[in-house]
Amino acid sequence: MGRENFPGVQGGGSLILAWQVRNKKVLVIGGGEVAAGRILNLLNADARVTVISPRAGLNPEVAHRIAHNQVEYHDRKFEPSDLDDPNITMVLTAIDDSEASSQIWKLCKEKRIAANIADVPPECDFYFGSVHRDGPLQIMVSTNGNGPKMANIVRRRIAASLPENIGEAIKKVGVLRKKLRGVAPAEEEGPKRMKWMSKVCVQWSLEDLCDMEEVDMDALLRSYAPDQVPSLTQVRLGEEPGLWQFDGSFGWSCVV
């Protein structure tokens, strides 16, 4: 057999996932600056957040979340019985007491609850990376606990290189995908739907996708059946599928 050209294995990484915590209960122990960032991330993901911290240790942002009933709050220190709730999906600690943090970690392990102990990478089932958010677009940079500040620097550099309207373009692609499922709902259409949507994303510019309106989407979807992708200009000119075709290059060849 010939030499296989497969990717090499690079051990030591983390499996980066988008953890869906919508309507799931998450326990945050601590109320300082680090806890504030964790809580915001959780609320952005529509989690049900419970905060345990003496009121004297609350940072202004956490106090604001509590005052506006954005989180459930218990004005006290953590107690082992807090982990008895079977609905707890994960536990995040952000307290200065390293001994207490390690004890919480051990209790979580006993109960098989995923936990993140701030600033103690060996006692983390998962890490929080530095996240760039633009509407539906989320980009996370992780250093596997080695350098949170470096993750922030890299994330800012990536974000600065992105077009300002990319979030809006992604929203409209999401709407187009939903409309396409209405046009071709059959399960066997799945591969064709994916391939056609990929061609739209590749052949249309980001600016075109951002400018696209619902009337353009409806007109574009008429080209799905013949498996063609017109330009935005052709869509707006009202050209019917069959009057043009893509010739495989970066330009368009018209057929009369």
Q: Is 96 a catalytic residue?
A: no
Catalytic position from the list 119, 125, 211, 216: 119
Burial 207-240 (b: 16+ CB within 10 A, else e): ebbbbbeeebbebbbebbeeebbbbbebbeeebe
DSSP code string of 99-124 = HHHHHHHHHHHHHT-EEEETT-GGGB
165-197 pLDDT, tens per residue? 889 999 999 999 999 999 999 999 999 999 999
Which pLDDT value is given to residue 251? Answer: 41
Counting every residue, how long is the chain?
A: 256
| CATH fold of 25-128 | Rossmann fold (3.40.50)
The CATH 3.40.50.720 portion of the chain extends over: 25-128
What sign does the dihedral 178-179-184-186 (CA atoms) show? positive
Q: How confident is the model at residue 253 (pLDDT cuts 50, 70, 90)?
A: very low
Which pLDDT value is given to residue 246? Answer: 46
20-30 pLDDT, tens per residue? 999 999 999 99
Which pLDDT value is given to residue 10? Answer: 86
Question: Considering only 51-55, 76-80, 159-163, which range has the smallest mean pLDDT?
Answer: 159-163
Report which residue type is found at 66.
I
Of 113, 118, 125, 224, whose CA–CA distance to 176 is shortest? 224
Report which DSSP code applies to 55: G
Q: How confident is the model at residue 238 (pLDDT cuts 50, 70, 90)?
A: confident
Tell me the average pLDDT across 213-226: 94
**Which has more pLDDT, 143 or 222?**
222
Assess contact for 23 and 44: CB atoms under 8 A.
Answer: no
221: its two tokens: 């979807």
Burial 94-131 (b: 16+ CB within 10 A, else e): bbeeeeebeebbebbeeeebbbbbbeeeebbebbbbbb
Tell me the average pLDDT across 230-252: 66
Question: Considering only 27-41, 127-141, 159-173, 236-250, which range has the smallest mean pLDDT?
Answer: 236-250
> Does the model's pTM come out above 0.85?
no
72: its two tokens: 């459930």
Q: Is the pLDDT of residue 223 over 90?
A: yes
